[in-house]
Amino acid sequence: MAGIAAGISSSGVLLRARESGSNGASLVQYSGLRPSANMPIASTRPSASWLISTRAPKCRIIKAQASTISAPTRETDPKKRVVITGMGLVSVFGNDIDTFYNKLLEGESGISLIDRFDASNFSVRFAGQIRGFSSKGYIDGKNDRRLDDSWRYCLVGGKRALEDANLGTEVLEKMDRTKIGVLVGTGMGGLTAFSTGVEALIQKGYKKITPFFIPYSITNMGSALLAIDTGLMGPNYSISTACATANYCFFSAANHIRKGEAEIMVAGGTEAAVMPTGVAGFIACRALSQRNGEPQGASRPWDKDRDGFVMGEGAGVLIMESLESAMKRGAKIYAEYLGGAITCDAHHMTDPRSDGLGVSSCIKKSLEDAGVSPEEVNYVNAHATSTLAGDLAEINAIKKVFKDTSEIKMNGTKARNLKAIPSNLLLFSLFQSMIGHGLGAAGGLEAIATIKAINTGWLHPTINQNNLEPDVTIDTVPNVKKKHEVNVAISNSFGFGGHNSVVVFAPFTP
């Protein structure tokens, strides 16, 4: 996610609104929402009248020192190799992994008009809203009524992942639970719990605030509640780096395993921001697509006619485990986590660096950590959220790392000619066009989709691509799924504050 500035420029100066009738502070130019003046964008579009003239500061020139580069080597120690032994999710397509991925392969859109609250007076009235969610069998009724949806999604997604890994209650009771940790983050926390508490304070006074107001609002409560319910006593905390949250959690969880601090980590992201405060906040940022008459066609990554992202919600959780532990208990292994990296643009609250250094260096560091060369990567699950500048900024950064993408033609393969797709062809895909942008949960859901691509040999399409940006010269799997044998995959997630994260997955080989 890239793209707001809440009335404060990167230098800390309060900016006054230029529009009459605004609430005082205005927005700076920011990456995902509108292209920065110093960032060349292929699509031409008249500048919006609401934009202020203040630009993000120019990128500082950073000189890279020469270093001796050795051939990459992958981890071989079974105590330090990290494998994926379970997956769990909550999504607009339900809680079942196979159903979720089959819907993606079909190119089905889960975007619809909001009916959870009255959004009729909102300028954006659609989202990837979850309907029919049930926590039966995972959360008792009393707690279920009290919990913020963010924590309900976390508990269900986390427990389903544990079940999938054959780590149910009876099995866990026989294990050393001090070596099993939980690291599930969120970008916005218990937003409904917080909003309800503030409303009670304003309307009824402080004595009417529920004692659950603080506990169910703070961002660490998802990991805490999951550990309390399952008795997991290993490393436990949350990370909040906006839309990069889940990848940060995967990266940190893997490092706990590599350092011997845990044998198993329950890691991922959760979010439930499709509610009045969340939607209104992003409307105020001017971050969202306003295609109210065409909600299912609103999210269109890399398309010239994109006009902002679509909000989504849910949870995506992985069971990350040392290979030694997985082999010892005979666990099924879905894929291997090879490595990852996190960096910061150190540039602007929401505007990406025009030189792409933050993102490109993150990709390079992730490949170094994974012991993988760029030539081995043939699948990218991109972050692109359908924002004007953010989509192309990511493309430009990727081109810096994967030098030979100019030789890969978009029309080099056809959906019907499945057997003609070489396994070393670099392809992109993006499911946010179908389920919306899950914010803190996005990386978790994307990781599951990436692993399913590895397992099935099918890449889901990026839908709503009818007028592709000319700068996008890599196959984005437009509109129709494609058969593709994944060799090494990377999954990108970026968040407000310049937080960059990349994780690397591959088929497991003993």
Partners of residue 315 on adjacent β-strands: 90, 270
Rounded CA-CA distance 421/409 in Å is: 12
41 is written with which tokens?
């964008």
CB atoms within 10 A of CB 321: 29
Contact 32/3 with Cβ under 8 angstroms? yes
Residue given tokens 């799924």 in the structure block:
481
Is the sign of the CA dihedral 28, 34, 37, 40 positive or negative?
Answer: positive
User: Six-digit token pair at 58?
Assistant: 């120019």
> Within a 10 A sphere around the Cβ of 374, how many other Cβ atoms?
18
- Active-site positions read 243, 383, 437
Residue 451 parent element (H or E): helix 442-456
Q: How many CA atoms lie within 13 A of 463 on its CB side?
A: 21
With residue 268 as reference, give the H or E element that holds it: strand 264-271
DSSP at 124:
-
What 3 state SS string does 372-424 have?
CCHHHCCEEECCCCCCCCHHHHHHHHHHHHCHHHHHCCCCCCCCCCHHHCCCC
User: In the structure encoding, which two tokens stand for residue 207, read together?
Assistant: 């004595």
- Pairing mode, if any, of strands 379-381 and 489-495? parallel
